[in-house]
A and B are shown apart, each in its own frame.
Chain A
Amino acid sequence: QVHLQESGPGLVKPSETLSLTCTVSGGSISSSDYYWAWIRQPPGKGLEWIGTIFYSGSTYYMPSLMSRVTISVDTSKNQFSLKLTSMTAADTAMYYCARQSNGWFDSWGQGTLVTVSS
């Protein structure tokens, strides 16, 4: 059974760049059956898809975040990563990584809370 685990800082200063990593275990990130995604959820609010990557490096980003987002993959470490630049208080959220199958998110990490504050 696949397991996903997010890691990264819980506190980021305004205008700085957020860097998060998702480590996948119990399955290969290089499988052609799956994509890998980042999703976030502001406190008390709904879910927002950020972007998706395939093991080959192909990426798909939410249009409204596209100018600030980079998702990358490291198949040797079975990891994929998120970078989000120019962070503001509006980016404060629980950030989840997830496995994506045919457009559906069928396995999720536990999430990591990121707060933007000086």
Chain B
Amino acid sequence: EIVLTQSPVTLSLSPGERATLSCRASQSVSSFLAWYQQKPGQAPRLLIYDASKRATGIPARFSGSGSGTDFTLTISSLETEDFAVYYCQQRGAWLTFGGGTKVEIK
């Protein structure tokens, strides 16, 4: 099983700031990584797939990068609605999720 480790666990930022979230895989997943956003009481929403491709309707302020074992989700300028929990997921071997990063208002 491929383990995904997300850091930091919590990120405290202000609206307008840049957010940088990390996801590290226990072994290479090539570019087979996605990012999801989950708000309280809601189902997750797909943001990024294949490491860097934005899903339909996702704003350009969300971007993904990385390959192999190290991946990054960047939110260029935080909007109020972006404060949420973010999960990474790999499909390199079976399907597993990271533990999540909570982006909270500072």
Could you tell me which A residues sit within 8 Å of B by CB distance? 37, 46-49, 52, 60, 62-63, 96, 98, 102-106, 108-111
Chain A CB within 8 A of B98 CB: yes
How many A-B contacts are there with CB distance less than 8 Å? Answer: 53
Could you tell me which B residues sit within 8 Å of A by CB distance? 1, 32, 34, 36, 42-46, 49, 55-56, 87, 89, 91, 94-100
- A49 in contact with B96 given A63-B1, A104-B34, A104-B49 (CB within 8 Å): yes
Report yes or no: B46 in contact with A105, Cβ–Cβ below 8 A: yes
Give complex CA distance A7, B96 in Å.
24
Give complex CA distance A73, B87 in Å.
28
- A46 in contact with B99 given A96-B43, A104-B89 (CB within 8 Å): yes
Query: For B96, what are the chain A residues with a Cβ–Cβ distance below 8 Å?
Result: 49
Report yes or no: B43 in contact with A109, Cβ–Cβ below 8 A: yes
Give complex CA distance A106, B95 in Å.
14
Instruction: Pick the contact of A111: B43, B55, B89, B99 (CB < 8 A).
Output: B43
Query: For B49, what are the chain A residues with a Cβ–Cβ distance below 8 Å?
Result: 102, 104, 106
Q: Considering only CB atoms, which chain B residue lies closest to A51 in the complex?
A: B95
